[in-house]
Amino acid sequence: MSRAATMRALRRHLVAGLIVIAPVTVTVWVLWWIFQWLDGLLGRFLYAAIGVELPGLGLLALLLLLLGVGWATERALGARLLGWWNVLLERIPLTRRIYSASSRIVRTVLAEDERPFSEVVLFEYPSAGRWSIGFVTARAPGMVQRHVEDSVTVFVATTPNPTSGYTVIVPRSRLIPLPMTVEEAFTYILSAGSVTPETGAAAAPGRPFPPAAAS
């Protein structure tokens, strides 16, 4: 085998190894980072209380706390206390907006019967001739509909962190629905377009968004 052929073979094996190892490494690193972050929320207080640092004890305490709060809120007394707590936070100007917004976001994301994103779409953004993939979240509020008729709210995720992005309001007629799932779209964005969806279907260019249902 010539030297050039040997180098090509080594390069091929190296790339194949990276394809296998890199996703595993990233997954383990992300899970470890999440574990350390969650474990540290209560771990530092437990360490100050008992003087012994036990990895995982903070995470276990956090899970038990969440289970306890969830169990209590399903009981009459716990639900009543939660209602008083909500009223208290809603009356404080500084915390009202933050608490209300974060509560609605968490309920939407964790709702079992609802999805925060209803459809994946393609539209011209941020300027004419430049296209972006977005996620339809909801119909635009009435105050917006008076100025931009038949419009929806679209979330445009960024690369490489798809949890951040932009919220834009777009007329339905300017959206092209894409035959891909939300997970496929997030993978495509996270990989900067290097990982394409496996659906194989192509959206019809210029196909308008389905008309809004009459309210």
H/E element, 107: helix 93-110
Contact 171, 148 (CB under 8 A): yes
Domains of the chain, residue spans: 1-74, 76-114, 119-190
Q: Which residues are within 8 A (CB) of 35 and not within 5 positions of it... i.e. 6 or more apart?
A: 56, 59
- In angstroms, the CA 117 to CA 101 distance is 17
Can you give the pLDDT at residue 214?
A: 44
Does residue 179 or residue 63 have the better pLDDT?
A: 179
Token output for 128: 């004419």
- Domain 119-190: which CATH number of 2.40.128, 2.30.30, 1.10.3470, 1.10.510: 2.30.30
Token output for 25: 């490494």
Can you give the pLDDT at residue 213?
A: 45
Residue 149 has pLDDT above 90, yes or no: no
Residue 202 has pLDDT above 70, yes or no: no
Query: Distances in Å between the alpha carbon of 90 and those of 11, 74, 85, 107?
Result: 60, 21, 9, 17
Q: What is the mean pLDDT of residues 134-145?
A: 87
Over the stretch 33-92, which tens digit does the pLDDT of each residue have?
A: 878 887 887 777 777 777 777 778 887 888 888 788 778 777 777 677 777 877 777 777
Please report, to the nearest 10 degrees, the dihedral formed by the alpha carbons of residues 195, 197, 198, 199 taken in order: -170
Can you give the pLDDT at residue 177?
A: 94
Compute and round to an integer the Cα radius of gyration of the chain.
24
Residue 130 has pLDDT above 80, yes or no: yes
Q: Give the pLDDT band (50/70/90) at residue 19.
A: confident
Can you give the pLDDT at residue 73?
A: 73
DSSP assignment string, 46-75 = HHHHHS---TTHHHHHHHHHHHHHHHHHTS
3-state secondary structure of 201: coil
Can you give the pLDDT at residue 106?
A: 65
